[in-house]
Amino acid sequence: MLSLEALSASELWELLERGSYFRERLDKGEKTGKELKGRTVANMFFEPSTRTRMSFELAAQYLGAHVINFAHQGSSLVKGECLLDTAWTIEAMAVDCMVIRHGTTGAAKLVANNVRAAVVNAGDGTHAHPTQGLLDILTIWRHKGRVEGLKVVIVGDVLHSRVARSNIQGLAKLGAQVVVVGPATMLPDSADWPVEVETDLDRALEGADCVNVLRIQKERQEQGLFPSQQEYFKFWGIDANRLTSDMLLLHPGPMNRGIEIEGRAADGPNSAILDQVTNGVAIRMAVLSMLLERSGH
């Protein structure tokens, strides 16, 4: 599971339906599944994470797997071991699945091409974050009852966002209308991506069903991609006044309150932000169970 690009619409729906089934199980408090009994999942995070790392760990545990957690700090990487030697070492401990987050685009693919274990990309550079895309779409589907024909607005640094890429790949394949909006320096060329491109937030939000707000990475300001956080919030920040009652508000987290999103919006009635977190556990249960069922490990 390296990106959503290679998946067909029917494969996406299979994962979403399985995710919805696991979400219902979680809502009933069922955490003692046996689907991954006897399997071992290694969480390998080379970049910070709260949501993705913990939800993969819980997803594997709720399905009965053994889980080991690898963190960059405190590992032999700090002594100079390379990524593939680290992956081969972990695989040699009878690991069936590796969940990899890395700051470099292509890192999960490099490992996948060189190990027998199943590999899940938990975010690589600016490239892809497929389970985030899936959990966002699962959240939209569960709230709106459909995906096809919805207008989904993605706000912020789309060009450098693996979350945006995975959302766009999945949403476009399932027939949603995707509009991206933000400073021109942070937007792709619409000729290259299946999206409509806007720089005016109010125009983009007209008739929107869902608004997905991206985290502003502070280093982008240092690169001169936007002048100041105050100006960013004024022109592209989502405050509660900009939302109509039926707009679903999403944010992948972690949030910068007061920069890309106002606290009143994040905590208000439109917000599905914590629901996304629960759906994150469910969709990771879906991905792990499907991969390990099919990979024969």
List residues binding ligand CP (CB under 6 A).
49-52, 123, 132, 252-254
Q: Is 33 in contact with 25 (CB distance < 8 Å)?
A: yes
- Cα 189 from chain centroid (whole Å): 22
In which residue are the tokens 């589907």 written?
141
Q: Which of 206, 209, 205, 270 is nearest to 237 (CA)?
A: 205
Question: Minimum Å distance from CB 72 to ligand CP?
Answer: 14
In which residue are the tokens 């700051």 written?
103
| CB closer to ligand CP, 40 vs 52 | 52
Over the range 115-131, which residues count as b (16 or more CB within 10 Å of their CB) and which as e?
A: bebbbbbbbbebbbbbb
Q: Which of 203, 208, 215, 201 is nearest to 270 (CA)?
A: 208
| CB closer to ligand CP, 48 vs 268 | 48
| CB closer to ligand CP, 170 vs 253 | 253
| CB closer to ligand CP, 51 vs 72 | 51
Question: Minimum Å distance from CB 45 to ligand CP?
Answer: 8
- State which amino acid sits at residue 221: Q
Tokens of 95: 């690991």
Question: Minimum Å distance from CB 202 to ligand CP?
Answer: 27
| CB closer to ligand CP, 135 vs 150 | 135
Cα dihedral 41/43/9/275 (nearest 10): 110
Question: Minimum Å distance from CB 53 to ligand CP?
Answer: 6
Question: Minimum Å distance from CB 50 to ligand CP?
Answer: 4
